[in-house]
Each structure stands twice: as C-alpha cells, then as structure tokens.
Amino acid sequence: MSIPVTELLTIALMRKHLRVDHEDDDDLIELYAESALAWALWYCDNPALKLVTDFPASFKAALLLLLAHSYANREAVVIGTPAAKLPQAVDSLLWASRNLSDVVDPVAEGAP
C-alpha cells in the first residue's frame, strides 16, 4: 500500500464517524481502516492514486463507510436477523476514482 490510511483520515475523524468517544479501540479502528483502504485501492485499480492530494473526498467518504461497516459487523455471519443487501453507496463514491481505461501506469503510457 502506498499511503497509510492515517494520512487520508485522522483517527479522530474515524472515531467521530463511528461515534466512539474513547481511544480503547484505536488499534482495531485503524486495522479496519487499513483494510478498507486496501479494498478500495483494489476496487479502483487506479495507479494515479499515489499522493494524499490524489484522493478525492468521495474516496475518503467511501473509506469511512467501509470502516463503519467493519466496525459494526465484527462477525462473518449474522444470526437471528433476516439478511438483506443494502444499496452500496461505496460503489457510487468510488466510481469516479476507478481506472476505467486499459492504462496500467499513466506515466509509463505517456498520459498527461
């Protein structure tokens, strides 16, 4: 991974999003956030996302949603509740950051 998640989102912002007012879970929150970043980078497959300034607000908002999902659902299986897939705002937020061209490395391909 090219960038630590804490350079994109502060732990204070992540706690605020999760409505956590203590530091006890900071290591867990950071682990889930790193996982969210790794997945989002894989999903976008965009080699142009290298510097903090390359990441739009929509990408960071998607990370917060993924983080919240992992934090709230710490088990692989939900028991006693009907499961339903909710509309994924994450897809919408990350769509603009996706690499939809066949260009693997824009610098090597001569992109501006």
Supply the CATH number for residue 71's domain.
1.10.3230.30
Question: 24 near 71, Cβ under 8 Å?
Answer: no
Residue 61 lies in a domain: yes
**Counted domains in the chain:** 1
Percent of the chain whose pLDDT exceeds 70: 81
Mean pLDDT of 34-58: 95
Residue 108 lies in a domain: no
Residue 103 lies in a domain: no
Residue 105 lies in a domain: no
Structure tokens that stand for 13 in this block = 């912002």
Instruction: State which residues form the domain around 86.
Output: 5-95
Would you say how long the chain is, in residues?
112
Residue 37 lies in a domain: yes
Residue 104 lies in a domain: no
Residue 31 lies in a domain: yes
Task: Give this prediction's pTM.
Answer: 0.81
